[in-house]
């Protein structure tokens, strides 16, 4: 095999940040990765997926090796908008290092982690003369920060059709809290958003007995939903939580009882429930107040737990060896593309500290980025031991 040279994780992170890949725009980030991975001996496949009513999204699949074990790394190069660029201390897409920190949109979520595991794989292949001793693949998508329709889900469908079945997968989401490596995510709560509409009968506020005020019914229904806990948590998950995010009537007149009132609810639910069960729980409590309602849900993802095993053992041992700490196995935070990958193989998430994700001056320590690369490399040594 031809000799390979590992990229530097910090320089690669800078190159990726300089690609303005605000979802769903590719921005050149996949071009950078295809160039680097191709140079390491990977077979790269660019895939653009479409869906009516959504933007086309470019994705990248890359693989080296044909044998087992097959270890995958997954990540997204799309980033959220920068907001007010003038509020940043540097160009959000400049990839500038200030002191000992790399600042830029995507530094934490999650171009830094992608650079770390590409560099770790490069180092691993460099040490082994280009032979992975199994297979390594990359699943790089471009709409995780968007609707998540034309990215990971469709890439996984393509992989299954092509027989590209990894045995385990590491996702580079920023899972670390107070210190790098203090948390490995082994599951995620489910998420559903529901629009609750309560109907009444319009009338004059001076004659309330001739009307039926839906706002009163809605507020009492919301009180039932807020006051009663959904559960008290489970072994690996915190309690499920319902939040009211909006209440709307749209009534410009102070002397008119409206005909309808709406509220938007978001529920993050643990592995004791499916989305259907949560919706049933919600409907029962609203129905106790009024039968004249509609509940229109949107399900972002079901809760899942990828049980601890060889993958989490290897990641935990790598964190301990490189950083001297024992990571907790967590399930908190928002959704991620791991909710799709868990249907294909065991999955765990490990990445940089999440303190500045999506913020102005998003940043990561240069040393922390190199340490994450070292952790990924140590995990590969355990997972692909000769």
3-state secondary structure of 128: coil
User: For the ranges 198-202, 310-314, 381-385, which has the lowest average pLDDT?
Assistant: 381-385
pTM as predicted: 0.89
DSSP H or E segment with residue 338: helix 338-341
Q: Do residues 88 and 177 share a domain?
A: yes
Contacts of 60 (CB under 8 A, 6+ apart): 30, 33, 34, 44, 45, 46, 47, 138, 140, 141
**End-of-domain residue from the set 262, 283, 301:** 301
Residue entry with tokens 């086309």: 56
Q: Do residues 20 and 51 share a domain?
A: yes
For residue 163, say if its preceding peptide bond is cis, omega within 30 degrees of 0: no
Complete edge-to-edge strand list for the sheet that includes strand 328-330: 43-49, 57-64, 135-141, 70-76, 168-171, 347-349, 183-185, 328-330
Q: Do residues 176 and 314 share a domain?
A: yes
Residue 4 lies in a domain: no
Residue 342 lies in a domain: yes
Write out pLDDT tens, residues 322-354.
Answer: 999 999 999 988 889 999 999 899 999 999 999
Domain holding 233, by residue range, is 190-301
Q: What is the CATH number of the domain that holds 99?
A: 3.40.630.10
Average confidence (pLDDT) over 167-188: 96
Q: Do residues 283 and 142 share a domain?
A: no
Average confidence (pLDDT) over 68-84: 97
- Is the pLDDT score of 227 beyond 90? yes
Active site residues: 78, 144
Q: What is the pLDDT of residue 2?
A: 62
Q: Do residues 79 and 225 share a domain?
A: no
Q: Do residues 20 and 166 share a domain?
A: yes
Q: Do residues 309 and 219 share a domain?
A: no
Q: What is the pLDDT of residue 73?
A: 98
- Is the pLDDT score of 141 beyond 70? yes
Burial 136-155 (b: 16+ CB within 10 A, else e): bbbbbbbbbbbbbbbbbbbb
Q: What is the CATH number of the domain that holds 251?
A: 3.30.70.360
Mean pLDDT of all residues in the chain? 96
**End-of-domain residue from the set 275, 301, 327:** 301
- The number of folded domains in the chain is 2
**End-of-domain residue from the set 273, 301, 329:** 301
Contacts of 283 (CB under 8 A, 6+ apart): 295
End-to-end Cα, the chain, rounded Å: 17
- Is the pLDDT score of 386 beyond 70? no
Q: Dig out the tokens for 165 from the structure.
A: 């079945």
Predicted confidence band of residue 385 (pLDDT cuts 50, 70, 90): confident
Residue 355 lies in a domain: yes
Q: Do residues 107 and 229 share a domain?
A: no
- Is the pLDDT score of 45 beyond 60? yes
- Is the pLDDT score of 366 beyond 90? yes
């Amino acid at each position: 095999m031809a000799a390979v040279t590992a990229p530097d994780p910090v320089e690669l992170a800078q190159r990726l940040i300089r690609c303005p890949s605000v979802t769903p725009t590719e921005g050149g980030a996949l071009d950078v990765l295809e160039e680097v991975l191709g140079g390491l001996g990977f077979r790269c496949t660019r895939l653009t997926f479409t869906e009516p009513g959504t933007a086309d999204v470019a994705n990248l699949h890359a693989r080296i090796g044909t044998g087992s074990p097959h270890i995958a790394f997954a990540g997204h190069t799309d980033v959220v908008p920068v907001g007010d660029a003038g509020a940043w201390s540097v160009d959000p897409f400049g990839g500038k290092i200030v002191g000992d920190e790399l600042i830029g949109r995507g530094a934490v979520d999650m171009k830094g982690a992608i650079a770390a595991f590409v560099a770790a794989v490069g180092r691993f292949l460099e040490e082994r003369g280009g032979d992975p001793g199994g297979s390594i693949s990359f699943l790089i998508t471009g709409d995780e920060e968007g609707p998540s329709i034309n990215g990971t889900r469709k890439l996984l469908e393509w992989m299954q059709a092509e027989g590209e079945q990894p045995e385990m997968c590491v996702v580079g989401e920023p899972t670390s809290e107070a210190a790098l490596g203090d948390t490995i995510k082994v599951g995620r709560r489910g998420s559903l958003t529901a629009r609750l509409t309560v109907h009444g009968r319009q009338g004059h506020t001076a004659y309330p007995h001739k009307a039926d005020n839906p706002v009163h019914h809605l507020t009492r229904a919301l009180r039932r939903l807020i006051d009663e806990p959904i559960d008290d948590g489970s072994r690996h998950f915190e309690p499920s939580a319902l939040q009211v995010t909006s209440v709307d009537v749209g009534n410009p007149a102070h002397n008119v009882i409206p005909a309808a009132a709406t509220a938007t609810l978001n529920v993050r639910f643990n592995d004791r429930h499916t989305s259907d069960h949560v919706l049933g729980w919600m409907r029962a409590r609203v129905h106790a107040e009024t039968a004249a309602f509609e509940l229109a849900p949107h399900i972002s993802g079901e809760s899942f737990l990828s049980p601890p095993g060889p993958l989490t053992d290897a990641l935990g041992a790598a964190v301990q060896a490189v950083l001297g700490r024992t990571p907790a196995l967590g399930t908190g935070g928002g959704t991620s593309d791991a909710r799709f990958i868990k249907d294909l193989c065991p999955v765990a998430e490990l990445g940089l500290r999440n303190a500045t994700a999506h913020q102005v001056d998003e940043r990561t320590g240069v040393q922390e980025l190199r340490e994450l690369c070292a952790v990924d490399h140590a995990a590969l040594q355990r997972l692909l031991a000769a």
